[in-house]
Amino acid sequence: MQHIYIKELLHRRFLSVESNVALKDVVALMHKQGSACIVVTERDKPVGIVTERDMVGLAAELMQMYPSRPASVADCMSTPAVCISQDATLYEALVITQTRQIRHLPVVDKRGRLLGLLSDSDIARAHLRVIEGYRTDIEGDIQQRTQALEHNNSVLKALSLYDTQLGIGNRRAMEVDMQFTHSNACQHKRGYSVALLDIDRYGRYCQDHGETAGEELLGQFSRCMGETIRSVDRLYRYGTSQFLLLLSETPLDQGLQLTERLLDQLEGLHIPHLQSEYGVVTASAGLSELNAAEQALPAPAIEWEEVVADAQCWLGHAKALGRNRLCWEAQADRGGAAMPLTGNLAG
C-alpha cells in the first residue's frame, strides 16, 4: 500500500470554475455534466468546493424563503430508480455502481419492494475486505503457499472490474452490466444500443510494428474513445482488438450518430498503417438496438446476448464491405440487409 501514490488514483477529468462565476452558471454546469461537485479556483489554485450537500442546503433555504411555491418530490427525482435484487452478488453491485457512477443503490426483493439501501462506499469496503481476505490466505500457510497463490490469484483476477492493460471495463464486468441494463430496459420499456468496434487489420499492424506498438495502438484507441463518448456511456474490452460500447437509453438513430463520430475521431488520429487500404489505422463497427417497447413482459423476446450477437454480425458485414465503416440493421426488417454509412466512412 505504501507504494501506491495519490497521483495514480486521482481523476483528471473534473469540473472547476473561478470564484467570480455566477452561481446559476455553476448549478447549470453541474446539472449538465452530472457532477457531484465542482472545485472553485482563483488563478488555478483551489479555494473551495461546491458539493451536492451545498446545493441541498441552498434549496432548503430557498424553499423557506418562498413557501408559496411547493413542489412534489417527483418533480426532481431521478427516474427510473436503478435497483438491485437482494440475491445479487457483491460483484454485480460493484459493477453497477462503478460503471453507472451511482452513489446509492436501493435493494429490493423478488417483488420489487424496497428492503434497504446500499451506498457505493459500503460496496467498495465490502469488496476490499474480500480481496484482503484472499491476500491474507495467500500469506498464511507457507507449505500451501504455491497452491493458494495460484487459486487466489485467479479469484482476484475474476473480481477485477477493469482490463489491466487498457484501464477500461473487462469482459466479465461487461456481461454483468449488459444483463442489468437489458433487464431494466425491458422492465421500464427504455431501449438501448450496442456498438461493437474492431481495429482494422490489427494483426498485420502488429506484424509490421511489433506487439509493443500494437499494445500502444490499443491504448491510443481506448483513450480516444473515452474522451469522445458521453459520460453515461460505458466502454469495455471485448476481444484482442475489439471494444464494446453500451449506450443506455439510446435509440438506434442516436447510436448511429455517436458511433459515426467515434469512427471519425479514430481515423483522425492519422496513425500510419502501410497494409491498410486507407494508409492509416481505421476501425469498423456494427450497431444493434434493443427496442424495449416491443419486448413482451415478463419474458422478453430476445436476450442481451442476441443484441451483442447482432452487433457482431453487422461488424462482420462492415469488414466484408471494405472496412472503415459502420453497418447496422434495417429498422423496418430485423433480417434486413446491412446499410453502410456514406461519406468518409464508406471508403
Q: Mean pLDDT by 10-residue block, N- to C-terminus, for the chain (347 residues)?
A: 49 78 87 82 81 82 76 68 86 85 84 83 78 62 56 56 87 92 86 96 95 95 93 93 95 93 94 93 95 62 90 94 88 41 38
What's the pLDDT at 1? 41
Cα first-last separation, the chain = 50
**For 6-75, which CATH class?**
alpha beta
CB 286 within 8 A of CB 317: yes
pLDDT of residue 148: 58
**Where do the domains of the chain lie?**
6-75, 78-159, 171-346
Write down the pLDDT at residue 340. Answer: 46
Give me the residues paired with residue 246 across strands.
194, 234
Which grid coordinates are listed for 310?
447482432
Beta strands in the chain (DSSP E): 16-18, 37-42, 45-51, 84-85, 104-108, 114-119, 192-199, 234-237, 242-248, 283-290, 326-328
pLDDT digits (tens, 9 = 90+) for 169-220: 999 899 999 999 998 888 888 899 999 999 999 999 999 999 999 999 999 9
| Cα–Cα distance list, 77 to 53, 73, 232, 336 (Å) | 16, 6, 17, 40
DSSP string computed for 84-104: EETTS-HHHHHHHHHHHT-SE
For residue 279, CA distances in Å to 149, 228, 273, 332, 347 come to: 47, 23, 5, 36, 12
pLDDT digits (tens, 9 = 90+) for 114-149: 888 888 888 877 877 776 766 666 555 545 556 555
Looking up cell 451545498, which residue turns up? 54
Q: Model-level pTM?
A: 0.71
Q: What is the pLDDT of residue 235?
A: 95
- The C-alpha cell 461519406 sits at 343
Which of 294, 297, 249 lies closest to 112, judged by CA?
297
Beta strands in 133-273 (DSSP E): 192-199, 234-237, 242-248
* Two domains, one topology: 78-159 and 171-346: no
The residue among 186, 181, 179, 183 whose CA lies nearest residue 294 is: 186
- CA neighbours within 13 Å on the CB side: how many for 94? 18
Is residue 228 a contact partner of residue 267, using CB atoms and an 8 Å limit?
no
Q: Which residue has the cell 446539472?
A: 31
Count of residues for the chain? Answer: 347
Q: Which CATH code fits 171-346?
A: 3.30.70.270
**198 burial type by CB count under 10 A (0-12 exposed, 13-18 middle, 19+ buried):** buried
CATH match for 78-159 among 3.40.190.10, 3.30.450.20, 3.30.1330.10, 3.10.580.10: 3.10.580.10
